[in-house]
Structure 1
Amino acid sequence: ISLGETAVFGEMDTSGKNSDLMEILIINLGDAREPVDNQILRLMNVLLSAQTDVREKQRVMREEFHIAMTAELEVEVEALCNLSQGIYNEGFETGVEKGMEKGIEGAVEILREEGYEDSQIIERIRKRFGLTQEDAERYVVARV
């Protein structure tokens, strides 16, 4: 069995590296507000957009694709909106956590350069960042 790269719509990397290992379908979604020649991509852009609210998604389905919006379908579209919002929120929270970690690590480094003792650093970052004693110690001990 051998797999080949085939672009159905748009452009793709045609280097051919390892294309015979598995079959993967990659769909690069665009901006839901931009026009698209391929109607399936248009529908997917709208339905999977985190920036498009549920009412707009339902409007596009009704007006552009002539899909009857039953009560069941409305619930499913709303669930899809909640899913994309949940994914966005999870990514945002991960970014905030990583940013806090970098900030705390930077504070520890600066306090070390200023000549503070580990016990003083632990106390300062614990108070400043609302850390438990154990978490504060992990930041300081990890940087030794």
Structure 2
Amino acid sequence: MNAIEMLRIIFKEKAPALVKKRQLEEEYGIRLTEDETKELSKMCNLSEGVYNSGFDDGVNVGTRNKAKEDLQNLIESTGWSLEKAMQALRIPLEERDHYEKALKKQH
């Protein structure tokens, strides 16, 4: 019985818990009780949640980096103030402090 391979089955992406349960039964002869099946489902949801959280964090960082770059380019090409550039790019009021601090760090 290869524990690494079983963990791979349990934590692989996007496969529903019932598919994983069937694989464990067919490949390793492991019969899960109802409680163990519920635990397997929780583990599947956990790994999916961790993936989604990491993906969302990456998208947010990418979006903020792009906005920061757009602000910098707009300021340099037009001579506008940071405030005017943020208005033009429709940066929400609650996020403007973040960009102000980030752009000050660059200079």
Q: Same fold (TM over 0.5)?
A: yes
Q: Residue in 2 aligned with 1:116?
A: 80
> Is the CA contact (8 Å cut-off) linking 2:24 and 2:30 kept in structure 1?
yes
Question: SS in structure 1 opposite 2:28?
Answer: coil
Backbone CA RMSD of aligned residues: 2.0
Structure (1 or 2) with the greater helix fraction: 2
Q: TM-score normalised to the size of structure 1?
A: 0.63
| CA offsets 1:76-134 (integer angstroms, 9 cap, x no match) | 10011011001101110110111011111111111112121223113223x2x434243
| TM-aligned CA deviation for residue 136 of structure 1 | 4.6
Q: TM-score normalised to the size of structure 2?
A: 0.82
Q: Which has the higher contact order (CA 8 A, sep 6+)?
A: 2
| CA offsets 1:6-40 (integer angstroms, 9 cap, x no match) | xxxxxxxxxxxxxxxxxxxxxxxxxxxxxxxx732
- What amino acid is the match of 1:122? M
Unaligned 5+ residue runs, structure 2?
Answer: none
Q: Within 5 Å, which residues of 2 pair with 1:43-62?
A: 43-62=6-25
| TM-aligned CA deviation for residue 71 of structure 1 | 0.7
| CA offsets 1:29-68 (integer angstroms, 9 cap, x no match) | xxxxxxxxx7322211101112322111100111111112
| TM-aligned CA deviation for residue 140 of structure 1 | 4.6
Unaligned 5+ residue runs, structure 1?
Answer: 1-37
Q: Which runs of 4+ in 1 moved over 6 A?
A: none
Q: Within 5 Å, which residues of 2 pair with 1:1-144?
A: 39-114=2-77, 115-125=79-89, 127=90, 129-132=91-94, 133-144=96-107
How many residues are aligned here? 105
